[in-house]
Amino acid sequence: MFVDMPLDRLRAYRPERREPADFDAFWARTLAEARGHDLGAVFTEVETGLAEVRCLDVTYAGFGGHPVRGWLLAPARAAGPLPCVVQYIGYNGGRGFPHDWLLWPGAGWAVFVMDSRGQGSGNRHGDTPDPAAAGGPSAPGRLTQGVSCPDDYYYRRLYTDGVRAVEAARSHPLVDASRVVVSGGSQGGGIAMAVGALVPDLLHAFIDVPFMTHIRRAAEITDAEPYAELARFFTAQRHRVDEVFATLDYFDGLNFAARNTTPALFSVALRDGVTPPSTVFAAYNHYAGPKDIRVWPYNGHEGGGSAQVAEQLALAARLR
């Protein structure tokens, strides 16, 4: 079944945004605090058995100066500087192994894969702890962790790590700093949308079935994970609904989309019960920069899969 509005209504759906008055000041302060720590990016060559791919194990300072892990991969014979995709990962995934990320080196690009702090017990392992994990009540998972206060909220740290990942990638001589694309699906798509707004000079953004957009609506129309974490939290914290959504407004993709001038290719799936299509179209329709979208009518949260990747590869070939 199609899980949301008809496509003609989705294409016109542009809901009102709830934007904190200090949204821009909050993120300017957050990034200034992060940049008060030396980026300290360390790149260590590792042997992987991949004869045609060069692999570097990366550690850099993210939010709070905390060490964040990653991979930098590039074609083995490339001298650089190369265009680079900064890749963000879906919910509860980690950076995994270098051989998980061969697509972009195969296309002649570098790829910088950011590990997601405190995650990595899902489809790939992670190696980055979250030293700043806030106390207070929360449902299992990340969506309500520290949600009592924007300063303590988990996604403040993760989005800041995402900005610093771009800075770390640009610091390496293999990477052409003027040709950086941010990319991700689901949670990774939400990070890419936020980073695209917070780093104004990116080449492009690939934003697939993004999570953390139009969060209030998502909480009302889907009981799929991870949004179900909000419902579980509210069953006990009945009195905190308004307070929690006031925090989430600082992290909602609608507010990043309205500020985002990075050219973007989106994707949406009309049978997606995890990131419902209206939440994706809401962000797309508010998106301020040049944009295009691929619609996959009969797919769920997997979106366009390899077909969407083919679209990205074709666009990447034109961007080189």
Could you give the CA distance from residue 130 to residue 138 in angstroms, rounded to a whole number? 15
Q: Where are the beta strands (DSSP E) in 34-109?
A: 42-45, 53-61, 67-75, 82-87
Could you give the CA distance from residue 33 to residue 54 in angstroms, rounded to a whole number? 33
226: preceding bond cis by omega (within 30 degrees): yes
Closest by alpha carbon to 204, among 101, 98, 280, 313?
A: 313
Do 20 and 252 touch, CB atoms closer than 8 A?
no
* Phi-psi sector, 96: left (phi>0), alpha (psi -120 to 50), beta: left
- Residue with the two structure tokens 């008055």: 21
Q: Please indicate whether residue 272 is annotated as part of the active site.
A: yes
Q: Please indicate whether residue 204 is annotated as part of the active site.
A: no
CA atoms within 13 A on the CB side of 267: 29
Here the tokens at position 248 are 């989430």
Q: Please indicate whether residue 286 is annotated as part of the active site.
A: no
- Between the alpha carbon of residue 244 and those of residues 119, 133, 225, 237, the distances in Å are 22, 17, 18, 10
Active-site position among 186, 214, 249, 278: 186
Here the tokens at position 216 are 């209030």
CA atoms within 13 A on the CB side of 159: 30
Active-site position among 4, 252, 272, 278: 272
Do 269 and 301 touch, CB atoms closer than 8 A?
yes
Could you give the CA distance from residue 183 to residue 186 in angstroms, rounded to a whole number? 10
Residues with catalytic annotation? 186, 272, 301
